Amino acid sequence: MGADHGASPGSAAARLIAWHKRHGRHDLPWQGTHDAYRIWLSEVMLQQTQVSTVIPYYQRFLKRFPTVQALAAAPLDAVLSLWSGLGYYSRGRNLHQAAGILVERHGGRMPHDPALVQTLPGIGRSTAAAICVFAHGGRHAILDGNVKRVLARYCGVRGYPGDSAVQEILWRKAEALLPPPGKSARNIISYTQGLMDLGASLCARRNPQCGQCPWRADCVARLRGLTGSLPEKKPRAALPQRSTVMLLLRNAGDILLEKRAARGIWGGLWSLPEVEHAREARAAAAQRYGVRVLAARTVPGIDHGFTHFKLRIEVMLLDVERPTRAARRARTAAAASPPVAWLPLAEAVTAGIPAPVRRILVSI
Ligand code: SF4
C-alpha cells in the first residue's frame, strides 16, 4: 500500500521547517503561546472548521473563559451559547466536560503524555499529539485529515485513509518523518505547524501547487503523476440487486397503465403492472384486469439504478382482448384495486410515468 521514495526523513523535516519559517502562518491568535488550554481550545475549534471562522469564536470564548478553571466552573448552557453558530456542538459539550476532569484530576494542568490527553472527552490521537507538541514541545506525530492527504501523496500510500490498515501505515510514515530526537522543541513545533500549513495551502485537495512545495523533489505522487488519485477515495459498497417483471398489456395500439400506491418508489405515478416471476404473467393479467391473453413474449428489459439498489426490469409483452364491461365493473367495485387506464402508446409515453417505464415504452 505504500512506496518508499528514498528521501532521508531528516532532510524532509528540515525542508518543511525551512519552508514553514518563510511561508507558514505565524500570526494566528493561538500561535506563540505554550498555554495548553488555549492550544487545546484552538485545536478543538479547528476540527471541521476553517481558520477564518474560528478566530472570532476563539477570541470571544477566551474573553469569557480565560482559564480551564473558568470553563470548568461555567454552566454548560453558557458554553454552548458561545459555541452557537460554530456547529458540531458535541465539541463544546466535550470541552466543558474535559475541563471539569482536568481541574478535578490533574490540578487544571494538561498532562504531557498524549496517551493520557487522549482519554479526555473529544480528544482523539492526533489532537492529543498536537496539544502536546505545541504546549510542551513533545516529539509526537499528528495525523489529521489534511495531514493524511499530504502523507498519502508524499509517501505514495495507496488505499482509502479511513481504512484502519491504511491509517496505521500513515501513522508509521508520520512518525518516521518527524525531526530527529534531540533537536530543539522549536523544531518540532515548526515542523508540525508546517505540516498543517502545507495541507491547508499548497497540498490542497484539488490542484496541489507542487511547484512551490518543499517536498516536490521526492514526493511520490508528484513524481508518478498520482496527485489526482491520492489519497484514494472510499470504495463504494456494491448496491443490492433487485428484480421485477413488468407487464405490457397491449390491445389495438392501447396499453394498460396502473396507478401506483402513494407511498413507496414512484409513489402516485402511473406505471406498468408488475409480477414477481414471468411465469405468473398470464394468470395475473387475466385475474387482475379481466383480459384474455392472446399471445405473450418477453421483450428486452432494462436496468435502472436507485441510490440504494439496482433494479433489473424484465418485460413481458402481452397482446390481449379488453375485458368485458361486466369484468370492468366488477374490478371497479373491488375497493382495493388501484385505478387503471388504457391509453394509446403515444399518450402513455407522455403521462406521469417513471423514467425507466418511459424507456420501456419508447423501445417497443
Ligand atoms: S509535491 Fe505536491 S502532492 Fe507532493 S506533498 Fe507537495 S504539494 Fe502535495
Q: Do 245 and 359 sit in the same domain of this protein?
A: yes
**Per-residue pLDDT at 325:** 74
CA 133 to ligand 1 centroid distance, Å: 24
C-alpha angle 339-342-344 in degrees, rounded to nearest 5: 145
Instruction: Supply the CATH number for residue 117's domain.
Output: 1.10.340.30
Longest dimension (CA), the chain: 97
Per-residue confidence band for 335, with pLDDT thresholds at 50, 70 and 90: low
Q: Which numbered atom of ligand 1 lies nearest the CA of 202?
A: 7
Kindly list the protein residues whose Cβ atom lies closer than 6 A to any atom of ligand 1.
150, 153-154, 202-203, 208, 210, 213, 215-216, 219, 221-222, 227
Q: What span, in angstroms and rounded, lies between the C-alpha atoms of 281 and 287?
A: 10
Residue 90 in any domain: the answer is yes
Q: What span, in angstroms and rounded, lies between the C-alpha atoms of 211 and 144?
A: 24
What percent of the chain lies above the pLDDT cut of 90?
80
Q: Which residues contact 113 (CB under 8 A, 6 or more apart)?
A: 132
Pocket residue to mutate for ligand 1, from 15, 146, 153, 229, most atoms within 8 A of Cβ: 153
Mean pLDDT, to the nearest integer, of 191-206? 96
Q: Which numbered atom of ligand 1 lies nearest the CA of 198?
A: 7
- Residue 209 predicted with pLDDT over 80: yes
Taking residue 162's Cβ as centre, other Cβ atoms within 10 Å add up to 14
Mean pLDDT, to the nearest integer, of 96-103? 98
Last residue of a domain, one of 136, 167, 183: 136
pLDDT of 113-170, one tens digit each?
999 999 999 999 999 999 999 999 999 999 999 999 999 999 999 999 999 999 999 9
Q: Which residues contact 308 (CB under 8 A, 6 or more apart)?
A: 239, 240
Q: Which residues contact 314 (CB under 8 A, 6 or more apart)?
A: 243, 244, 245, 246, 278, 298, 301
Q: Which numbered atom of ligand 1 lies nearest the CA of 209?
A: 7
Give backbone dihedrals phi and psi of 296, rounded to 5 degrees, phi first.
-140, 135
Q: Which residue's CA lies nearest to atom 2 of ligand 1?
A: 210
Mean pLDDT, to the nearest integer, of 65-79? 96
- Residue 99 predicted with pLDDT over 60: yes
Lowest mean pLDDT among 106-120, 166-180, 258-272, 314-328: 314-328
Residue 225 in any domain: the answer is no
Q: What span, in angstroms and rounded, lies between the C-alpha atoms of 139 and 129?
A: 8
Residue 341 in any domain: the answer is yes
Taking residue 102's Cβ as centre, other Cβ atoms within 10 Å add up to 23
Residue 3 in any domain: the answer is no
Last residue of a domain, one of 136, 162, 185: 136
Q: How many distinct structural domains can be found in the chain?
A: 2
CA 109 to ligand 1 centroid distance, Å: 38
Pocket residue to mutate for ligand 1, from 146, 218, 222, 230, most atoms within 8 A of Cβ: 222
Q: What is the bridge-based pairing of β-strands 274-275 and 270-271?
A: unpaired
Take residue 152 and report the three cell numbers written for it: 498519502
Residue 327 in any domain: the answer is yes
Residue 23 in any domain: the answer is no
What range defines the domain where residue 119 resides? Answer: 35-136
Per-residue confidence band for 3, with pLDDT thresholds at 50, 70 and 90: very low
CA 193 to ligand 1 centroid distance, Å: 16
Hey, which residues are catalytic here?
43
Please count the CA atoms within 13 angstroms of the CA of 34 that sit on its side-chain side: 9
Last residue of a domain, one of 93, 121, 136: 136
Pocket residue to mutate for ligand 1, from 146, 215, 226, most atoms within 8 A of Cβ: 215
Instruction: Supply the CATH number for residue 294's domain.
Output: 3.90.79.10
Residues linked to residue 250 through DSSP beta bridges, in sequence order: 255, 319
Q: Which residue's CA lies nearest to atom 8 of ligand 1?
A: 203
pLDDT of 212-246, one tens digit each?
999 999 999 999 999 999 999 998 888 899 999 99
Nearest of 209, 261, 184, 225 to residue 17 by alpha carbon? 184
Residue 218 in any domain: the answer is no
- Residue 9 predicted with pLDDT over 70: no
CA 256 to ligand 1 centroid distance, Å: 61
CA 17 to ligand 1 centroid distance, Å: 15
Lowest mean pLDDT among 217-221, 253-257, 263-267, 279-283: 263-267
CB 321 within 8 A of CB 294: yes
Residue 164 in any domain: the answer is no
Q: Which numbered atom of ligand 1 lies nearest the CA of 213?
A: 6
Per-residue confidence band for 85, with pLDDT thresholds at 50, 70 and 90: confident
CB 283 within 8 A of CB 275: no
Q: Which numbered atom of ligand 1 lies nearest the CA of 214?
A: 6
